[in-house]
A = this chain, B = another copy of it.
Amino acid sequence: MSQLNMILLFLAISLSASFPLLGQEEIQDEDAFFIKKLYDRSLTDPAAHQWLEHLCKKIGGRLSGSENAVKAVDYTARVLDSIGMNSVIKQPCEVPHWVRGEKELVQVLKPDGSKTDLSALALGNSIGTGPNGIEAKVIEVKSLDEVENLGKTIIEGKIVFYNRPMDPTQIRTFHAYGGAVDQRVYGASKAAEYGAVGVLVRSMTTRTDDFPHTGVNVYKDGVKKIPAIAISTIGADRLSKMIKEGELSIFIRNNSEMLDPEISHNVIGEWTGNENPNEIILVGGHLDSWDVGEGAHDDGAGCVQAMDALRLLKVCGYTPNRTLRAVMFMNEENGLGGALAYAKASNEAKEFHLAAIESDAGGFSPRAFACDAEESVLTDRFKKLSEVFSLLEPYGLSLTNGGGGADINPLKSQKGILIGLRPDSQRYFDFHHAKNDTFEAVNQRELQLGAAAMASLIYLIDKYGL
């Protein structure tokens, strides 16, 4: 698109319409003006993007219990200090300490003696195979139910290969993830119940590529722990094809291990409210990430957007009525240690979170906020928020119902509202838990629009209540 007709059209639009989608009668001028100020600042002074660069490039992947996680705690505490919070604290929480060890090896052993390496990553919390690895016949399945149906006779002694893809026809990719991820989370223990010696899991991604995607594996109490390894979607397709050609063995080797739990920290920056300091509006993301990649979309983006939301309000001259908190939760990826510690301390202190907003769906173009709350308050709070939400429509945002976020869910019993930022989801699983989740994969404007969206939402909730 470049021609003169279009140019003239654009000129006309850009001169005439700052808020093209908003009916004049609905504009509350002062609010519209302030929200525009927040957006303007976010798009011209991209602090979130700069902080993300530090988090990704100077620190990198930051799994709970790792040295990088400690660095990320220190760094974000310094950032929160620098933007003028009234207090910045590191709140202790217990987290697992899992280490990947050496590069994993997954080899297909063909009857003719040839070997084919598949791109592989051990799943989080997986035990290791021991230094000699494990060699066994492989069997492909599409579900946990199929393992049950095949039973011990067929599963015992084998490596189970879970190969049900994410459903590409789901419009929101998170729904496709939800429909496939049971294989990754519960597949190992299910297979172990029937005597399997290890599992391979097709990566949770909507792309066909050669990046293996890690993510949490949860061992069931009382069931033997067996190694669990993700292979790329290209690898999964190759393996499936080879299996169709004849019986195969697989050799797997990894030396991941679970060490003793560590004490890590949530980082909490608080900006005390002027009129109702006992009502809290929280904005957060999770600071931990998987060890591969740089945790850029998941969830460095959410952390820097949350901090930047409060910075934007501050530099634009806002004085909050309620207490605003930016919270960098620790250990969302493999335990929720931080979220549970935060909620426990908050409940013990009889705090009330009027709203908790989380960004944990990638630094992509924001499209909506999704709301959740206890049933007794949901309708009322949603209605109140709807009344002012038209001010955010010019920025391409809509209000919908849906989950707030894993870290804020434990606050639901306080009967405030839980809100999740919903960016466009199409590209999220291209990068999710994989080594290509890097700073470069995040577009500056898309990231900053998310920060501005959250700042604007906080402003509206703080000013008008719920």
Contact = CB atoms under 8 A, between A and B. Distances in A.
Contacts of A1: 174, 298-299, 332, 360-361, 405-406
Most buried by B among A6, A167, A218, A445: A6
Interface string A164-180: 00011111011111110
A379 to B, nearest CB: 16
Interface of A: 1-7, 9-15, 20-21, 39-40, 43-44, 167-171, 173-179, 181-182, 185, 206-207, 215-216, 218, 298-299, 332-333, 336, 360-361, 365, 367, 394-396, 400, 402-403, 405-406, 409, 424, 426-427, 430, 432-433, 443-446, 449
Number of copies of chain A assembled together? 2
A334 to B, nearest CB: 8
Contacts of A20: 400
A408 to B, nearest CB: 10
Given A3-B332, A3-B336, A6-B403, A40 B169 contact: yes
Contact of A365 (B185, B298, B365, B444): B365
B44 A178 contact: no
Given A1-B406, A2-B181, 20 more contacts: A1-B299, A4-B185, A4-B218, A4-B406, A5-B336, A9-B178, A9-B402, A10-B403, A13-B403, A14-B179, A20-B400, A39-B169, A40-B169, A43-B169, A171-B394, A365-B424, A365-B426, A426-B449, A427-B445, A427-B446
Contact of A168 (B7, B21, B43): B43
Contacts of A444: 207
Given A43-B168, A424-B424, A443-B430, A178 B400 contact: no
A177 B2 CA distance: 9
A10 B444 CA distance: 28
B394 A14 contact: no
A2 B433 contact: yes
Given A2-B332, A424-B424, A444-B207, A10 B406 contact: no
22 contacts: A1-B405, A2-B298, A2-B332, A2-B433, A3-B216, A3-B332, A3-B406, A4-B218, A4-B336, A5-B406, A7-B182, A10-B175, A10-B403, A11-B179, A15-B179, A20-B400, A44-B169, A171-B449, A365-B426, A367-B396, A426-B446, A430-B443
A321 B353 CA distance: 57
Contacts of A178: 6-7, 9-14
A447 to B, nearest CB: 10
Nearest to A433: B2
A456 to B, nearest CB: 12
Contacts of A44: 168-169
B396 A11 contact: no
A451 to B, nearest CB: 14
Contacts of A207: 444
Which 8 pairs of residues, A with B, have the shortest CB-CB distance?
A10-B178, A14-B175, A3-B406, A1-B360, A40-B169, A9-B403, A43-B168, A426-B445
